[in-house]
Amino acid sequence: MNPYVNLLGIVLIILLGIGYVWIKARTVGPKGHPAEPVEELLSINTLIQYVKSQLHELSRAQVNDWGISEEAWSRKLKSRAELRQALRGCTWGDRHDKRYVKSYIKDLLLNGCGMNDNTIGHYIPFDQRELLSAQDRFDIILYLYTQRYGDEALAMLIETYQLDEQKPSAGDHLSFHYEVTADDIEEVFYLEYRRLDFREKLDILAQRIYQQYKGFSVIDEIREQRIDGVSGGVNGVSVLDDEDLHSEYWAGADLINNMDADGDEDGRDISRCWDSVWIFYKGKSMRLSFLTFGNDAELKRVCQNIYKYNLPGQLSEANGYKVNEMKDGARVVVVRPPFAESWAFFLRKFDLKSVALEQLVQGENAKLPVQLLKFLMKGSRITAITGSQGSGKTTLLMALVKYIYPSYTLRVQEMSFELNLRKLYSTRNILTFRETEYISGQAGLDLQKKTDGTVNILGEVASDEVASWMIQMAQVASLFTLFTHHAKTFRDLIESLRNSLLKTGMFRDELVAEIQVITVIDFDIHLRRDMSGKRYIEKITECDRIGQGYRERVVLEYRNGEYVSVEPISRQMREEMAREMAQEDRIAFERFHDAYWREEIGA
């Protein structure tokens, strides 16, 4: 064979080899991660897989003790243990562990990947604003606001740009909803945007990696804000195949749902269950329609992790829901198929910083209900707090505890630890119980009789057994009782408790059962949340016992934006309250009652 041909072949092979090595050097950095990514590798998922493998190796691999001192070996061993703990704790909502894991992620991006200001734009195009997605823009805005306002960032963003205003529903100008759209975020972004330095870009990228690896996806940062709650998987359809999507039924549904105000189709696709992110803000349920979990698997991952604090047991097909709390005290409810039509979660937060009657009760003449509530507690009245979900029952109950005399011991029964009374009142004698897989709520209530409790608090009377035991407990086992209930009216409250006594077999006669209830209940504080999200005390009612029956004595009512006194508290009830009060409180109560119900003081 011609030697020149051989030589040419050898040269070509060498050139190809050099080219391959050059490309690899350009695209693969230390430890095999792309440093100058080519087009097909420009994915955050690539970074996630790299971070996941590196953190797994750092937290699981045995420490190599060859050639290092005992002190250095101990430091490495301690560092590995801390990382393993942080990787577990961050999934429970522990902020300290989250920061610890994110610091590792940033270190891997800088030192393992050689990330710099030139390469970071391959993953999130920070300097090409037109290429940023709605989620990118929101992440940048929320980051900038968090630098200024901390946990108030989202609230400040909503208030500044009035994002919680009502929007007319498609095709119905008389119907309204609350929604933050991609257009809203785009408008805010162009007003708020500024150039970010590399450190800020790295923070945002590290957070994106963290939330898709160990965090709670697109709600990870939202969850930590001072809002009332966040939920996901609560709208949209589940996974459908092509045949379902093109069926006559779904085609009709799509046509109906996608009509705009002019009756034309607006071109939107059917919303999927993973396109479902909602927040609860100041009593308003608002959809963040620009955010999505991306797919069913990501929504499922969040649901499977968000309830795991303190190992409450496994969510399974046989046990299709879990109620638990996170490390920060937020209550979380998770459901899954076949119990629910899709994976979904509901996270409710209770802002301990705002638990004060003066902050909770707003409106003209708000000092009237505030003072009355304080005297109900000092007067040791058995009090129900009623209202619909989201009306503020739990938060009000937390605030009322402050005005129970500190010498009284409190025993609390809840479905999950959400009242956080020992965080609010750390020097008080308070012990909370909750039902578990092996200990029923009834058993917990039975135990309370043996724990020297003066005041019993029930987070929620939600079952017939608990309702019947509450009636017995209020009669003999404690000085007084506080509880919440979902009754819509005072009459509904009495009838619901009466029916619970009948269902549990404690009584057979309806009248006798009702008498037992009305001899126990002293007052009902009924809360209301209107369509605008405003919360207020609709009325405070005394159960006025009359012979074998009762009368609803409305003591206070909310009318046209103002709290007004209606009927005076009955003389017998005032005397019973006064007997339980300290001398100075008794005098203050008499003056208070005379000031607002002077004309009917003889009632």
Structure tokens at 136: 């990118």
Structure tokens at 591: 């003056």
CA–CA distance, 96 with 93 (Å, rounded to integer): 9
CA–CA distance, 375 with 577 (Å, rounded to integer): 8
Residue 514's region, left for phi above 0, alpha for psi from -120 to 50, else beta, is alpha
Would the pTM count as exceeding 0.85?
Answer: no
pLDDT recorded at residue 473? 77
- Identify the sign of the CA torsion 304, 310, 312, 314: positive
Report the SS3 class of residue 527: strand
pLDDT recorded at residue 247? 53
Give the count of beta carbons closer than 10 Å to the beta carbon of residue 85: 14
Q: Which of 229, 93, 226 is nearest to 154 (CA)?
A: 226
Q: Where in the chain is the domain with CATH 3.40.50.300?
A: 355-600
Q: Are strands 410-414 and 455-458 parallel, antiparallel or unpaired?
A: parallel
Structure tokens at 316: 């399974």
Buried b (16+ CB within 10 A) or exposed e, 114-127: ebeeebbebbbebe
Decide: residue 105, CB within 10 A, 0-12 exposed, 13-18 middle, 19+ buried: buried
pLDDT recorded at residue 404? 95
First-to-last alpha carbon distance for the chain, in angstroms, is 123
CATH match for 355-600 among 3.30.70.240, 3.40.30.10, 3.40.50.1100, 3.40.50.300: 3.40.50.300
CA–CA distance, 318 with 440 (Å, rounded to integer): 19
Give the count of beta carbons closer than 10 Å to the beta carbon of residue 376: 25
Give the count of beta carbons closer than 10 Å to the beta carbon of residue 589: 22
- Strands (E) located in 85-204: 167-169, 172-177, 179-180
CA–CA distance, 579 with 39 (Å, rounded to integer): 80
Q: What is the mean pLDDT of each run of 10 residues along the chain (603 residues)?
A: 57 53 43 38 81 85 61 79 88 91 93 90 92 95 96 95 85 73 95 93 96 95 93 83 49 44 47 92 91 94 92 89 87 93 91 78 93 96 92 91 94 83 90 81 77 87 82 79 92 93 88 91 94 89 90 94 94 95 96 82 44
pLDDT recorded at residue 40? 33
Q: Which of 552, 565, 573 is nearest to 592 (CA)?
A: 565
Q: Which amino acid is at 465?
A: E
Structure tokens at 145: 């606001």
CA–CA distance, 133 with 168 (Å, rounded to integer): 25
Q: Which residue carries 């979900």 as its tokens?
A: 389
Structure tokens at 292: 């999505």
Does the domain at 132-205+217-236+271-348 match CATH 3.30.450.90? Answer given as: yes
Buried b (16+ CB within 10 A) or exposed e, 506-535: bbeeeeebbbbbbebbbbbbbbbbeeebeb
CA Rg value for the chain: 30
**What long-range pairs does 133-136 form, CB within 8 A, spacing at least 24?**
134/182, 134/185, 134/186, 134/290, 134/291, 135/218, 135/290, 135/291, 135/292
Cβ–Cβ under 8 Å, residues 373 and 358: no
Q: Which of 375, 450, 462 is nearest to 415 (CA)?
A: 462
